[in-house]
Structure formats: structure tokens, C-alpha cells
A and B are shown apart, each in its own frame.
Chain A
């Protein structure tokens, strides 16, 4: 695709935090492109850097974070953009949906006020108009009786309804990009299904692109077109959902899939990945996954592997790609 047509192009994004025990590199050179309307998932376990990378794009990290690299959004450089200018983008062109809908709303104002506020900040609507638009938005995300609910306070909403209200707030200004950070992790599975359905419908209507950040591979399979698997601050594998779920090439991705119990078929015994994810302060030298990898060789301890193409629109970061059995053999 032509670079000018891209919505977002991230190149070599690196984020480190100053801590008492030294520098912690949370994201180490992440690159990806996102086309308008596209849906991409970033999957990883805790400490993989999946959330930090998107917070860095929006300038939402604390001052102790050192960010480098480039992120072009609609032709504008996000990294190093002045706060004032970022504020103009946040909530208007790029909107965020967080995991915990309770803390995302101010308990002292009504839901309608807060959705309206999101529009007023960017001068897109105000007063009565903002309130009636808020009600429309709540209706769009499936909140019953929106005319009454706009006057209610966040504590009067259930968890699922609050998450819908947050989606309504996020789409209030018709953003071009939605970043959903674990949007359903705090919700029950039946409510999760409702919310994911709402998100899909909304994207269908507004044409917004989405970055879905999650630890749940199952959720990814049903709601994204492309996936990046992150581990220890790096992208370990990226590809279309089909290539990633049916032909995963990286030992970490394979390990994740085989350690998941599945509701649709029952394995006699799970095959876990040994050990625990590395701490940011104590990354193994060489490949971050090396110490836990069952295919490791001598080179894995020496230097980090490069992300190399292993197929069409499919890349894996592994020194021993040639020695990794194909998934069809592993899962058989």
C-alpha cells in the first residue's frame, strides 16, 4: 500500500522508563502500519509492552517515560508533538476505550454531561444539541431508554452499560482510529459478547480503524484482521489472523496457543510454556523468550533475533525459524 494512504505508520517505537533500579525498556522497536478502517490486534501477556506502545502514541505516558521512534498519523508526527496539539487529536481523531469503565467516568457528573463534554471540548456541539447527540450515541451502542439514561450518573450504570457509554463517548466525534485497551477484560463473557458486537457494528457504521489490545487470543480470532504478538517489548510474530492461528511460526505464539484450554475441544493435557514472563528490569540477553523456549539453540542466548518475513504478510522473530516445526505437526 502507498504510504500516503496509511492511517497510522509506526516505526521503531521505543519506550523506556526511569526507575529506581535503572532503565526499564517496555517497548523495544515496534513498527506497524494501519490502513484506514482496518482492525488490528496486539496480543501479549502482562509486561509485554502491548498497552504502553499505544499510550505512547497518544502521549499519555508519565514524564518519566523516554520515547523515541516515529508514528505518523494522517501525515502528522505524533512522537514529540506538543501537548496542546495532541489534545486536539485525542478524543477527536483518535479515541481510547479503557479496561475499567468505572474510573473512566467522573462520578460527579451525569453520563450525558460527560459524553457532551467530549464534543464540547472539540467545539463540535454544545448545550442542548450535545445532550441530544449524547442520547443518540447511547442508542447507537445499545443502551436502552437513552433519553432517560443521559441524565443518570455512572454508578447507576452496570459494568456492561458503562462500557457501552464509554464506547459512545469514544465515537462521539467520529474518530478515525479507536484504540481499545482490554475493553472487555472486566466484563462477564455474555456481556463481553454484547460489547464486542457493539464495537463491530459501530466500526461498520463509522468506518473507524481499530487497534484492539488484549491478552485473549480467542477475542482476537473473532474481531481483528491482523495481529501482532508481543513479548518482552518486541513484536514476535505478526500476520493476518488466518496465518497466525492456522500457521503460527514463532515458538512463543505456538506455545500460547497450545497452553490455552479450549471450550470447543478438550485436550487431555495442556502444553504450558515453562517459566514466567521476564521482568522489564531483567531482560534475558539475546532472545527475550530464549530461556523459556523449547527450541532454543546456542545463538538464542547471544543476540536478539530479527523480525523476518516467513510468508505473505507474515513475519516471525526467531533465530531458528528453519527448525521450528509447522503448527499442523505440533497440534496434531
Chain B
């Protein structure tokens, strides 16, 4: 297409063929353009569908399974997959399908909740510390350093024993110690972004710090934040299972995918399905979140043009 640049001196329109070529001819809304960019990622569409299916299965599935996740049945214990128990049963004879669905519920909740919470804390702390510098920055840096020095697992264990057991509190606890990386990323990014001339221009226009953070800094941080969310989602699932393994996480008879994998490990040689099934679910969740994150990063970046 040609882009017409009106010439103020002669008034005659002159076609200009600079970098402005390759624009969509029709003017689309910002949201629509973002959706177009998202849609180009086939894997992200697959990821969205998989994640949606999993969520439905985890929350609706239990109504269609004839066994409860906590229902002990000593007679049917340690069985392989069968019509009655498609995923088999564990050492107490509990139905592993019902437990996988229950565990999936918790793991997915913990993964998403933790990732979003930790990234949000990291965003606020990092943005404030990077933008204001000085005393505020010093204070936040102090907290970050203290958290870095304390061994994360010990801290988790202490907090877990005190408040743990519920998935939401688990998520909050994990988030409280895992926002540091996000905060440091954001702070570094903000330090360089705030020197950009468009931030200076906003200041020259009289914009206050919170407006600048909201309209100029945050949108330019979305890319790295989304990467951080996807990484944290994976970390959260693994951290949670470590805690559960140490019996500091979700308490039995409740379970999570991490716990199921840990339990299945002892019989890996005889019944690999006990690890493979929850392991596969964890992989599916993390991969889906990753693909979606990738596509969202492109979707919010107007520069990743539409071919």
C-alpha cells in the first residue's frame, strides 16, 4: 500500500514509501489487532484449548467418577488401570482418576494463582523501586537481599507449617518468596525505561509518577512479565510438590499432582503409569501456559506485525 504524506509546503500529496508500508489497509481496533497477532500462534490456540479442557475435567470431572478422591478401599489397593479404575488405585485403594482430578484442581490453582500473585508483587516492588530510586529503592533492596539470603525451602517449611495446608495459602506463601526475580527484572527494566525520551515527554506534559508507571512503564514491561508468569507457574507446581513431599504442603487425604508423582515414584519400576499420568498432566499444564504466554507477549506488542 502507499502511504500519503501531505506536504505542508506545496499542498500536493506525495506518496511516501518509508517504513510505513505493510500496514493493514483497514483500521482495526487495538483489541482486534492484538487478537490477530495472538491467533497466529497455532500452539497457543492448542494450549488454550488444552488448558480449558483440563480445567473442565478437573472441576466437572469428579461428578462423573464413581469414587471419591478420599475413599479408601483396602481390597482394591495397588491395582493397575482397569475399567473400574481407569488410572488404577494407590496403596490405600483410592481411585487414582479421582485423585488426579482433585490434584489437578489444586495444582492448576496454585500454579496460576502463585504466578500471577508473585509477578504482581514483583511488578509493584520493582516498578516503585526502579522509578523512585533513593530511600524507597534502598528499602526494597534490603527486603530482597534478606529474602535471598534466607534459604527459601526453610522459609517455606516454616510458613507452610504455620499457615499451610490450604491451596490458597500455599499459593500465597510460595508467591511471597518467589516475587524477587520478577522484581529485579522489572527494576532493571524500569531503570532504563524511565530514561527514555517518551517518559521525559510525559513528565514535560505534567504527568505524575503513577500515571507514567501505568501508561508508559507497565505496557512496556508486559513482555518480560508474561515470560515470568509462565516460568513461575512451572516453579510453583514443583515447589508445591517438594513441600508436599516433606509433608508441609497440602495435607492428606487431599492431594496435588506433585504429591501424586512423589507417591508414585516408589513403584516406578512396576507401575510407571502412577508417575506418567500426573507427570503428563503437569507437563501439559506448563507447556500450555508457556505457549499462551508466548503468544500473549506478541499480542501486546504492536511491533510484531501482521503479515
Interface residues of A (CB under 8 A from B): 21, 272, 274-279, 281-282, 284, 291-292
Asked if B267 is an interface residue, CB under 8 A from chain A, the answer is no
In the assembled complex, the Cα of A272 lies from the Cα of B8 at a distance in Å of 11
4 closest residue pairs by CB, A with B: A276-B18, A274-B14, A275-B16, A282-B21
Q: A304 CA to B260 CA in the complex, in Å?
A: 71
User: Are A276 and B17 neighbours in the complex by a CB distance under 8 Å?
Assistant: yes
A276/B9 in contact, CB under 8 A:
no
Residues of B contacting A282 with CB < 8 Å? Answer: 17, 21-22
Within 8 A of A (CB), among B16-68: 16-19, 21-22
Selected contact of A292 from candidates B10, B14, B19, CB within 8 Å: B14
User: Is there a chain A Cβ closer than 8 Å to B219's Cβ?
Assistant: no
**What are the residues of chain A within 8 A of B19 when measuring CB–CB?**
279
- What is the bound-complex CA distance between A291 and B21, given in angstroms? 14
Q: Which residues of B contact A272 (CB under 8 A)?
A: 9
B138 CB-CB contact with A under 8 Å: no
Most buried by B among A21, A282, A284: A282
Q: List 15 A-B contacts (CB under 8 A).
A: A21-B22, A21-B307, A274-B7, A275-B5, A275-B18, A276-B5, A276-B17, A276-B18, A277-B18, A279-B17, A281-B21, A282-B17, A291-B15, A291-B16, A291-B17
Is there an interface contact between A276 and B21, defined as CB atoms closer than 8 Å?
no
For chain B, the count of residues having a C-beta within 8 Å of the partner chain is 14
A128 to chain B, nearest CB (A): 45
Binding site for A on B (CB under 8 A): 5, 7, 9-10, 12, 14-19, 21-22, 307
Is the pair A279, B9 in contact by a Cβ cutoff of 8 Å? Answer: no
* A175 CA / B12 CA spacing, docked (Å): 51
Q: A281 to B20, alpha carbons, bound, how many Å? A: 11
Min CB gap A282→B, angstroms = 4
Question: Complex: how many Å from CA A15 to CA B243?
Answer: 60
Closest to B1 in A: A282
Interface of B, secondary structure class, is loop
Write out the residue numbers on chain B whose beta carbons fall within 8 Å of the beta carbon of A292.
14
Most A Cβ at <10 Å: residue of B12, B17, B18, B307 = B17
Known A-B contacts A272-B9, A274-B7; the reply to A279 vs B14 at CB < 8 A is no
In the complex, the chain B residue whose C-beta lies closest to that of A291 is B15
* Contact in complex: B18, A279 (CB < 8 Å): yes
Smallest Cβ-Cβ distance to A283: which chain B residue = B17
Q: Is the CB of A275 within 8 A of B17?
A: yes
Q: Are B14 and A291 in contact (CB under 8 A)?
A: yes
A281 to B7, alpha carbons, bound, how many Å? 24
CB-CB nearest in chain A for B14: A274
Alpha-carbon gap, A276 to B2, bound state (A): 12
User: In angstroms, how far is the closest chain A Cβ from the Cβ of B136?
Assistant: 32
Told that A275-B5, A282-B17, A282-B22 touch, could you supply 13 new A-B pairs with CB distance under 8 A? A21-B307, A272-B9, A274-B5, A274-B12, A274-B16, A275-B15, A275-B18, A276-B16, A278-B17, A279-B19, A279-B21, A291-B14, A292-B14
Residue of B nearest to A277 (CB): B18
Q: Report the minimum CB–CB distance from B49 to chain A (whole Å).
A: 28
- Residues of A near B16 (CB, < 8 A) are 274-276, 291
Chain B residues within an 8 Å CB radius of A276: 5, 16-18
Contact of A275 with B14 in the complex, beta carbons under 8 Å: yes
> Could you tell me the distance between the alpha carbons of A275 and B21 in the complex, rounded to whole angstroms?
13
Bound-state Cα–Cα, A263 to B10, Å: 26
Assembled-state Cα–Cα distance A279/B19 (Å): 6
Please name all residues of chain A whose beta carbon is closer than 8 Å to the beta carbon of B21 when the two chains form the complex: 279, 281-282
Which residues of B lie under 8 Å from residue A21 when comparing CB positions?
Answer: 22, 307
Q: Measured between alpha carbons, how far is A267 from B307 in the docked complex, in Å? A: 45
Q: Roughly how many angstroms separate A70 CA and B18 CA in the complex, as a whole number?
A: 31
Cα distance A281–B21 in the bound complex, in angstroms: 9
Question: A267 CB to closest chain B CB, in angstroms?
Answer: 14
Complex Cα spacing A142 to B128, Å: 50
Residues of B with C-beta under 8 A to A284: 17
Shortest CB distance A20–B (Å): 8
A207 → chain B, closest Cβ, in Å? 42
Most central of A21, A275, A292 by chain B CB within 10 Å = A275
For the complex formed, measure the closest distance between the CB of A313 and the CB atoms of chain B, giving whole angstroms: 33
- With both beta carbons as reference points, the residue of chain A lying nearest to B5 in the complex is identified as A275
Which residues of A lie under 8 Å from residue B14 when comparing CB positions?
274-275, 291-292
A275–B15 alpha-carbon span in the complex (Å): 7
Chain B nearest Cβ from A166, distance in angstroms: 29
- Min Cβ gap A286→B in Å is 12
